[in-house]
Amino acid sequence: MTMTTLAATLFTVVELPYAYDALEPYISAETLHFHHDMHYAGYVAKLEELVEGTRYATMTLEEIIRESDGAIFNNAAQAWNHVFYFEQLSRHGSHHPEGHLLRAIDETFGSVDELRRRMTTSATSLFGSGWVWLASDYDGRLYIITKPNAGTPLNDSLVPLMCIDVWEHAYYLDYRNQRKQSVEDFWKIIDWDVVEERYRAATR
Ligand code: MN
């Protein structure tokens, strides 16, 4: 899904692109029901309520994220972040990056294993709730970005490529306090085909 599609689906709860049990055993159907139907859908409903009758009501999600702060920013960014997060997961995707993305990862981090290690460390050392992002600038340079709460690299003029949801609601039902194990399992269900397509779009 491109960012244009995301913008077009403002105030719509985007359905999961797979069945609720499609990511088991790494993410349970129960977690996905709560994560998608309650948390993500809750951000969309709250955003709708907050922007009603304001100048934000006619903006795209990305415009709201760039121009707002406080509760409106938090709910808009969480709505955007979650669609982006769910879309990148699959049990059946490519398990290793290829092509231009692989070359950029090797140049920046030395290896895919080192990228995984650094993002895992960022996720396990983030205090409280937030997101760890792999992002690209328009020249194709890669960055690992850690953001608290609803933070997104969209506001740093970077293009998000991949994200780890480090809110407890993303893993606590399945992993309890074992955040590190949840991140290690995240790497088994990241679909590198999706990440590569995002990278191609960012550097086109
Ligand atoms: Mn979440």
Distance 171 CA to ligand 1 centre (A): 9
- What CATH number is given for 99-203 in this structure? 3.55.40.20
| pLDDT band, very low/low/confident/very high, at 10 (cuts 50, 70, 90) | low
88-113 average pLDDT score: 97
* pLDDT tens digits, one per residue of 23-39: 999 999 999 999 999 99
Output the pLDDT for position 2: 38
Distance 103 CA to ligand 1 centre (A): 30
* pLDDT tens digits, one per residue of 139-193: 999 999 999 999 999 999 999 999 999 999 999 999 999 999 999 999 999 999 9
Q: Check pLDDT > 60 for residue 3.
A: no
The more confidently predicted of residues 38 and 5 is 38
Q: How far apart are CA 116 and CA 111, in angstroms?
A: 9
Output the pLDDT for position 6: 47
The pair phi, psi for residue 150, each rounded to 5°, is: -95, 10
**Quick check: 147 and 127 in contact, CB under 8 A?**
no
Q: Check pLDDT > 50 for residue 4.
A: no
Q: Percentage of the chain with pLDDT > 90?
A: 92
Q: Check pLDDT > 90 for residue 91.
A: yes
Output the pLDDT for position 202: 94
Cβ-proximal residues to 84 (8 Å cutoff; 6+ apart), any chain:
6, 160, 163
Distance 170 CA to ligand 1 centre (A): 5
Distance 32 CA to ligand 1 centre (A): 10
Question: How many Cβ atoms are within 10 Å of 110's Cβ, its own excluded?
Answer: 12
| pLDDT band, very low/low/confident/very high, at 11 (cuts 50, 70, 90) | confident
Average pLDDT, the chain: 94
Q: How far apart are CA 202 and CA 111, in angstroms?
A: 21
Distance 169 CA to ligand 1 centre (A): 6
Distance 39 CA to ligand 1 centre (A): 7
Distance 167 CA to ligand 1 centre (A): 6
What are the boundaries of each domain within the chain?
A: 99-203
